[in-house]
Amino acid sequence: MFVAESPALRVRLAVVVPKHGRKIVERNRLKRRLRESARLELLPRCLDRGVALDILIRARSHAYEAEFQRLRGEIRELAEVLCSQSFS
C-alpha cells in the first residue's frame, strides 16, 4: 500500500492487481474483493476522522489465495493505522 496526502481534500483509492500468472477472472475477483474491503473498512474510517488521502493498494501474489474476510481484516488494520496518522 502506498499513501500520500490528497490534494483533492477527500479519500481517493486505486487498486492494482498484477497478473502473477493468473487469468483475468481471478484478477477481477481479487480487484472486486479489495475494492469492496476498502469501501467497507477504509473509506468510512477516513471520512469519520476527516482524513484526505490518496491510497494505492497493490496486491501481492499471495493475495489470490486469501479469503475475503482475511483481506478485509488486513485492510481494517491498515485503516486504523492510516486514518489515525497525520501526514502534514
- pLDDT tens per residue across span 1-42: 899 988 988 899 999 999 999 999 999 999 999 999 999 999
Counting DSSP H helices and E strands in the chain, the numbers are 3, 3
| 88 located within any domain | no
- Report if residue 87 sits inside a domain: no
Q: Is residue 75 part of a domain?
A: yes
82: pLDDT confidence band, cut at 50, 70 and 90?
A: confident
Q: Which one is predicted more confidently, 68 or 88?
A: 68
Q: Is 9 left (phi over 0), alpha (psi -120 to 50) or beta?
A: left
Whole-prediction pTM value? 0.86
Domain that includes residue 29, residue range: 2-82
The CATH number of residue 61's host domain is 3.30.230.10
The answer, yes or no, to whether residue 86 has pLDDT greater than 60, is no
Number of separate domains in the chain: 1
Dist. CA 24–CA 39, nearest whole Å: 22
Q: How confident is the model at residue 87 (pLDDT cuts 50, 70, 90)?
A: low
